[in-house]
Amino acid sequence: MRKISALIFILLISSGFGQELPPIIKFSKEIYNGGNQNWMISEAENHFIYVANNKGLLEYDGERWRLYESPNKSIIRSVKVVKDKIYTGCYREFGYWKKQLDGSLKYFSISSKLKNTISEDEQFWNIIDNGEFILFQSLNHLYIFHVNSEKINIISTQSSISKVFQTGKKIFYQVYGEGLYEIVKGDKILRSNHILFKDSKVVSIFEFNNKFEIHFQYEGIYTMSGNELMKLETPLPSVNLYSSIKLQNGNYAIGTVSNGVYITDENYNFLYHIEQSNGLSNNTILSLHEDVMNNLWLGLDNGLDCINLNSFVMNYDDINGVLGTVYASVLYKGNLYLGTNQGLFVKKHGSNNPFEMVSNTKGQVWALFLYEDTLFCGHDLGTFIVENKTAHTLQKGNGTWKFSQTKNLSLLLAGNYEGLSVLEKKDGQWKFRNRIENYNISSRFFEILNEEIYVNHEYKGIFRLKLDDELTKVNSIYNYKSPEKGNNSSIAKFNNTIYYASEDGIFELITKSKKFERDEKLSKVFDDGNYISGKLISQEEKVLWIFGKDNVNRFESQSLTSDFRLTSIPVNYIYSNSLTSFENISQLNQNLYLIGNSNGYITLDLDKIENYDNQLYLNEVIYFKTGFDSKSLNLTEKTTLKNKENNLIFHFSVPQYSKMTNVEYRYRLEGSDDNKWSDWSELSFAEFANLSWGDYTFYVQARVGYNELDSIKQFSFQIRKPWFISNVALVIYFGLLILLAWFINKTYKKYYERQNEKLIQENHRRLEMSELESQQQIMKLKNEQLETDFENKSKELATSTMNIINKNEILNNIRENLEQTDNKDPHIKKVLKIIEENLNDEDTWNLFVETFNNTDKDFLKKIKELHPSLTPNDLKLCAYLRLNLSSKEIASLLNITIRSVEVKRYRLRKKMQLDHEDGLVEYILQL
């Protein structure tokens, strides 16, 4: 038995390199930003994936991973989603997480109710949902949490609990050294104490037909009926099992410690063996989970993988590089032939046997053509006919691109490196007949229509050739100027019409005019940047294949109408791994196709294409203030943000996990300057920076492949006005404006008053200046008048004084003359007396004083104040001296002698107490 198992294992290992495997999506710890190990996986109703990871709880929405650390920062060992709650177990702690209004998860502890019941180092390795209760399993206890009452029952064991199992409504658990127990109505019942249950580790238990299938870690698979165990003989090798589940279609997925995962049918017949050497990230499978879309999730010892088990695409990866790049394929007599750059390979179709090279075909193979049960091979070395695993040369030296039948069923036309050639079937044997003369251009793409040959050359354009009836030479050549030549362009015949495809679109040959016109309907497959190559592939003129960036497009002619039926198969060009301009596809059966690529090939099973009810979710809206301050918003209501909270990021996703299918999104922000839908993009977030204030509504739409989802998610929010234009601010501004108007009015009024006051003052000043000038003028006039009066007075005084002097001189002369006469004469005496009276006339003096005061005001008063001792005669002398009269003139006025005047002057000087050097006249004149 061991030899047989070893032999089976060797066969499985060898066949592992020749399997057609489903696509695998790999998630490294760098991608999901968590720890290496992933202990348990569960799926929510919205198809989000939750993983118990070394660093916490991982949430995957189809686009973005989010990590939530456990409450005590320990490893999360188990996870189970039940409705809207995500139950987890870790070190000395278990509870559940729940979605909050902002899309994040919040933890609620259940184990905190137990206080000190949980023992040291107790960890919770499994969670079971019974509908009525949630069971948390550690190595020594089972904690049964009743959801409705929130009571917790505890089942304890003396020995270690290996694992807890749920099959249908039954719950089992294994205790080392004791056996297999079942929980019935909250109590434990020993179901079997078989030695295997005591000493061997049970990995999984499955129930069907009132029997149980038991997967043991090392001992293999057993069936249990009652208390009896019977080993089930299976093709599976003896490996170290760690995890296993039964898939929805009845198959099994069996994870091992070091040999990856095995996928078997319900009888454990081998389907796939997937390990690190052919696609997995790691060979240790810690956990398995199948989601509702039949994807198998693998929690690994280092990473996380998702296998698209139900994918319509299967991948044959030429890991060892034996095949090379596949350029052509065909299914012929039960064998699958692959034409590659290394040669022609063959194997039995449907087997896991390795490919073998067909003899004599080493080198580049370009084409495989099946005609009248004969397989033709277009090769770099020429043309071959293939029989089983051997190729026979028909034509050598001129490489062959393509074959096409003619109206003569015994003739085939071959496109060669240099022109065209004819193959002929004669006496039941195919032979090379001739090269076609007058044409030697490479003919990789050519089609025959109405006895004319249309050849496309990427660098020379399209040619229309007219051959002679014997197909020996070209009689005429027409080189089309339109449509323009193009790289990666080609032509193909479909529905009895020739089509040309390039980056400019797809063009149809109009039979009557023999001109090409753009076919708008077919050209739509190149819209939205979907153009990759103009390679057209026609199958029996009834089906036309066109490769795009996100789709493989299949046009099928309709028998009753001229319209075509388009089927867009969601296969991303990157994943198809095709070689641009050398894309190739062949039909294996009714709806199974093979596409060759640079690493092998993929197969498309159109019967497996399913349109799942994919849903679009808006998962989180984050706003950022200046700097790194951010916060998630409530997704269920309209949010009002402050003006500085105007940088937002929207995260959205479609939780679908097909590797071959692209999900694209587009969005628009109503209320922004650009309210148009964005271009379709694979980015699952939208970012808006420095939004102005106002009301906004964000819309997002998704498409899977090229199928747009009906639902459009939206989120409305408002950004407040900046504080300086808020309503309060406007009221304040209005008040300030009023105050400003009042202030300006008041200021202007004051300014006006000041200006008016200034004007008044200026006028007053001008008036004062005018008055002053007038007064000065008047003063000047008065002064002039006074000067005139003074001069007149002075003249009058001088005249009066001179008159007095002259009068006194005359009177003195008269007196002297009369005194010389007889003075006894009474008349003379009378005259002398009159003379004497006139010489000493007081009125004359008073008149003089009055005149003198008018001329020299207050002089006499001032000198009297300075010298109070002066007598009237002294004052007379001072007045005369003030007039700068000589002593002689003074003597005449005083009617005394000159000597007497001098004596008076001396005495006056003495009274004034003048110094010797001071002049009397000078002193008097200075006063």
Q: What is the pLDDT of residues 870-927, one digit of tens each?
A: 888 888 888 888 877 888 888 877 778 888 888 888 888 888 888 878 888 888 878 7
Quick check: 329 and 340 in contact, CB under 8 A? no
The DSSP bridge pattern shows strands 474-479 and 411-416 to be: unpaired
| Cα gap 259→237, rounded to integer Å | 10
How far apart, in Å, are the Cα atoms of 460 and each of 338, 455, 535, 659?
31, 10, 16, 39
Tokens 């005139």 correspond to 788
808 to 9, 805, 841, 889, 892: CA distances (angstroms)? 181, 5, 11, 10, 6
Q: Could you report the per-residue pLDDT of 70-81, keeping only the tens digit for each?
A: 999 999 999 999
Distance between CA 161 and CA 140 in Å, rounded? 6
> Does 61 score more than 80 pLDDT?
yes
Q: How many residues does the chain have?
A: 927
Among 132-136, 227-231, 623-627, 806-810, the least confident range: 806-810
What residues does 389 pair with on adjacent strands? Answer: none
pLDDT at 4: 41
Q: Which of residues 419 and 902 earns the better pLDDT score?
A: 419
Helix pair angle (872-882, 859-866), 10° resolution: 120
Backbone dihedral angles phi then psi of residue 199, each to the nearest 5 degrees:
-110, -20
Confidence of residue 815 (pLDDT cuts 50, 70, 90): confident
Reduced to 3 states, what is the DSSP secondary structure of residue 39? strand
Helices (H), 402-488: none
Which residues are within 8 A (CB) of 324 and not within 5 positions of it... i.e. 6 or more apart?
318, 340, 341, 342
| 834-859 mean pLDDT | 67
Question: What phi, psi does 606 have (nearest 5°)?
Answer: -65, -20
Q: What is the DSSP letter of 17?
A: G
Among 662, 45, 573, 24, smallest CA distance to 295 is for 24
Average pLDDT over residues 17-35: 92
- C-alpha pair distances (Å), 804 with each of 796, 841, 890, 899, 901: 12, 10, 11, 20, 17
pLDDT of 802 strictly over 80: no
Higher pLDDT, 159 or 826: 159
Concatenate the DSSP letters of all residues of 502-551 into one string. Answer: ETTEEEEEETTTTEEEE-HHHHGGGTTTTEEEEEEEEETTTEEEEEESS-
Burial 339-366 (b: 16+ CB within 10 A, else e): bbbbbbbbbeeeebeebebbebbeebbb
Class of domain 858-927: mainly alpha
Q: What is the largest CA-CA distance in the chain?
A: 218
Q: How far apart are CA 775 and CA 309, in angstroms?
A: 124
pLDDT at 668: 97
Give dist(CA 242, CA 227) in Å, integer.
24
Query: pLDDT value at position 3?
Result: 41
Amino acid at 237: P
C-alpha distances (whole Å) from 2 to each of 9, 230, 456, 838 are 10, 18, 62, 191
Distance (Å, whole) CA 663 – CA 708: 10
CB 571 within 8 A of CB 315: no
**pLDDT of 854:** 67
In which residue are the tokens 């199928």 written?
Answer: 707
Q: Which of 9-23, 654-668, 814-828 has the lowest mean pLDDT?
A: 9-23
Instruction: Please report how many Cα atoms fall inside a 13 Å half-sphere around the Cα of residue 586, on the Cβ side.
Output: 19
Task: Flag the least confident range among 92-101, 150-159, 742-751, 840-849.
Answer: 840-849
Helix (H, G, I), strand (E, B), or coil: what is residue 42? strand
Note the pLDDT of residue 379: 98
Q: What is residue 6's predicted lDDT score, i.e. its pLDDT?
A: 41
Cα distance between residue 387 and residue 390, in whole Å: 5
**177: which residues sit within 8 A by CB, 6+ positions away?**
159, 198, 199
Q: 3-state SS of 716-785?
A: EEEECCCHHHCHHHHHHHHHHHHHHHHHHHHHHHHHHHHHHHHHHHHHHHHHHHHHHHHHHHHHHHHHHH
Residue given tokens 């209760």 in the structure block:
133
The band of 845, judged by pLDDT with boundaries at 50, 70 and 90, is low
Q: 3-class secondary structure for 586-642?
A: EEEECCEEEEEECCEEEEEEHHHCCCCCCCCEEEEEEEECCCCCEEECCCCCCEEEC
Please state the domain extents for the chain.
1-17+24-36+234-312, 38-145, 157-228, 617-724, 726-847, 858-927
Least reliable range by pLDDT among 207-216, 419-428, 467-476, 568-577: 568-577
Does residue 86 carry a pLDDT above 80? yes
Tell me the backbone φ, ψ of residue 388, rounded to 5 degrees. Answer: 55, -110
30/303 Cα distance (integer angstroms): 9
Q: Is 209 helix (H, G, I), strand (E, B) or coil?
A: coil
Whole-angstrom Cα distance, residue 804 to residue 841?
10
d(CA 462, CA 751): 91
User: What percentage of residues in the chain have a pLDDT greater than 90?
Assistant: 65
Q: Is the peptide bond before 483 cis (omega within 30 degrees of 0)?
A: yes
Q: How many CB atoms lie within 10 A of CB 642?
A: 14
Q: How far apart are CA 202 and CA 173, in angstroms?
A: 9
Give the span between the Cα atoms of 602 and 910, in whole angstroms: 156
What digits encode the pLDDT tens for the residues 765-800? 777 777 777 777 777 777 677 666 655 665 565 556
Residue 3 class from Cβ within 10 Å (0-12 exposed, 13-18 middle, 19+ buried)?
exposed
Percent of the chain with pLDDT over 70: 92
Top CATH class, 38-145: mainly beta
Give the integer Cα–Cα distance in Å for 262 and 712.
40
User: Given a cut of 80, is residue 808 above it in pLDDT?
Assistant: no
Query: Would you say 379 and 364 are in contact if contact means Cβ atoms under 8 Å apart?
Result: yes
Cβ atoms of 327 and 592 within 8 Å: the answer is no
In which order are the strands placed within the sheet that holds 228-231? 202-208, 211-216, 220-225, 228-231
* Spatial CB neighbours of 326, under 8 Å, sequence gap ≥ 6: 338, 339, 340, 584, 596, 597, 598, 600, 601
What pLDDT is stored for residue 855 in this prediction? 67
Q: Note the pLDDT tens digit of each residue in 199-258.
A: 999 999 999 888 999 999 999 999 999 889 999 999 888 899 999 999 999 999 999 999
Radius of gyration of the chain (CA): 64
Cα separations in angstroms, 783 against 131, 776, 779, 787, 788: 132, 10, 6, 6, 8
Burial environment of residue 334 by CB neighbours within 10 A (0 to 12, 13 to 18, 19 or more): exposed
Question: Does the pLDDT at position 737 exceed 50?
Answer: yes
Specify the pLDDT at position 106: 98
Q: Report the b/e string of 895-915 with b at 16+ CB within 10 A.
A: beeeeebeebbeebbeebeee
Q: Report which DSSP code applies to 355.
A: P
> Among 849, 832, 850, 847, which Cα is nearest to 895's?
832
- The top-level CATH class assigned to 617-724 is mainly beta
Show Cβ contacts of residue 211 under 8 Å, excluding neighbours closer than 6 positions: 223, 224, 225
- CB-based burial label for 824 (10 Å; 0-12, 13-18, 19+): exposed
Q: Is the pLDDT of residue 625 over 90?
A: no
- For residues 594-629, one letter each, b for 16 or more C-beta atoms within 10 angstroms of the residue's C-beta and e for the rest, the string is bbbbbbbbbbbeeeebeeeebbbbbbbbbbbeeeee
If you average pLDDT over every residue of the chain, what do you get? 89
Which of 173-177, 529-533, 642-646, 797-801 is modeled with the greatest confidence? 173-177
